[in-house]
Amino acid sequence: MKTTWNRWMGGTRQLTLPRLAMAAAASLAVALALSACENVAGFTQPSLVRFIDASYIAPAVNVLVGGVELAANYGEGSVSNYGTVPASKNAVIKVTAATGGATLVTSNATLVGGHQHSVFLTDNGAAPTSYTVTVLEDQMIAAAGGHSAFRFMNQAPKVGPVDLYIVPAGATLADAILQATIQVGQTFGYYNFTSQTVTIVITPTGVVTPKFVSASLALKGGEVETVIIIDSQLVSNPPVNVVIVKDVPAT
């Protein structure tokens, strides 16, 4: 393509009108060829997908999404990196036991090209055990300047509904404002708030005794994170396990 273009440019001083027309046609052909290199017919951006194991009952699992293995031998609280999966309106999700290969659950989901998704494995917290796969679209852009965006998921059927508090540094739970009551299986957020040093406190609904108190989080702005509330394997007065994962790094 480059040789043809240089040849036409090299003869500029001697071009007649017919030759100018031919030059224009050749230039158009080059432009179309270059455009074809950038825009392939039928091409669709892949989807970015990660797996989060939010089941305390499930054995270690392997996970296939749209034929792509996202996780191998993952246990409770494990989070995979984002993997590239073909976009699909009906992607098959298959979760199997890492040992023995028994199928725990299969599902189908829409995976949007160029977007990020999280695939969550959860359970009913009872016997007989049943598992559920939930797919959520993740925020891909940083929170607005001076703000942080957090999404909260309650996947703790043993604990039940929980109250969420975001406590600024120097304040106590008694001073804090209840941000949300989150039912089992419910998602809250993305919740935007002013970036500062805070502590996340989670209590059973209507109870002041915390089930979880985070370390101090020094938020600088731009953070986008998902907080997953998961049942503990402890039997007596169990706390909750909390997994915090970054959807978009801080700016």
Q: Are residues 22 and 85 in the same domain?
A: no
Q: Are residues 114 and 65 in the same domain?
A: yes
Q: Are residues 246 and 153 in the same domain?
A: yes
Please report the DSSP string for the chain in residue order: -HHHHHHHHHTGGG--HHHHHHHHHHHHHHHHHHHHHHS-TT--PPEEEEEEE--SSS-SEEEEETTEEEEEEE-TT-BPPPEEE--EEEEEEEEEETTT--EEEEEEEEE-TT-EEEEEEEE-SSSS--EEEEEEEEP-SPPPTTEEEEEEEEE-TTT-SEEEEEEETT--TTTSPEEEEE-TT-EEEEEEEE-SEEEEEEEETT--S-SEEPPPEE--S--EEEEEEEE-S--SS--EEEEEEEEE---
Q: Are residues 196 and 232 in the same domain?
A: yes
Q: Are residues 191 and 247 in the same domain?
A: yes
Q: Are residues 134 and 145 in the same domain?
A: no
Domain boundary among 90, 118, 138: 138
Q: Are residues 27 and 84 in the same domain?
A: no
Domain boundary among 110, 138, 166: 138
pLDDT tens, N- to C-terminus, the chain (251 residues): 433 333 223 333 333 434 434 444 444 444 444 434 434 455 579 999 999 999 988 999 999 999 999 999 999 999 999 999 999 999 999 999 999 999 999 999 999 999 999 999 999 888 889 999 999 999 999 999 999 999 999 999 888 999 999 999 999 998 898 999 999 999 998 999 999 999 999 999 999 899 999 999 999 999 999 999 998 876 666 678 899 999 987 66
Given the structure tokens 């890492």, which residue do they identify?
98
Q: Are residues 222 and 148 in the same domain?
A: yes
Q: Are residues 156 and 200 in the same domain?
A: yes
Q: Are residues 117 and 157 in the same domain?
A: no
**What CATH number is attached to the domain comprising 241?**
2.60.40
List the domain range (segments joined by +) for residue 145. 141-251
Domain boundary among 103, 138, 173: 138
Structural domains of the chain, count: 3
Q: Are residues 106 and 153 in the same domain?
A: no
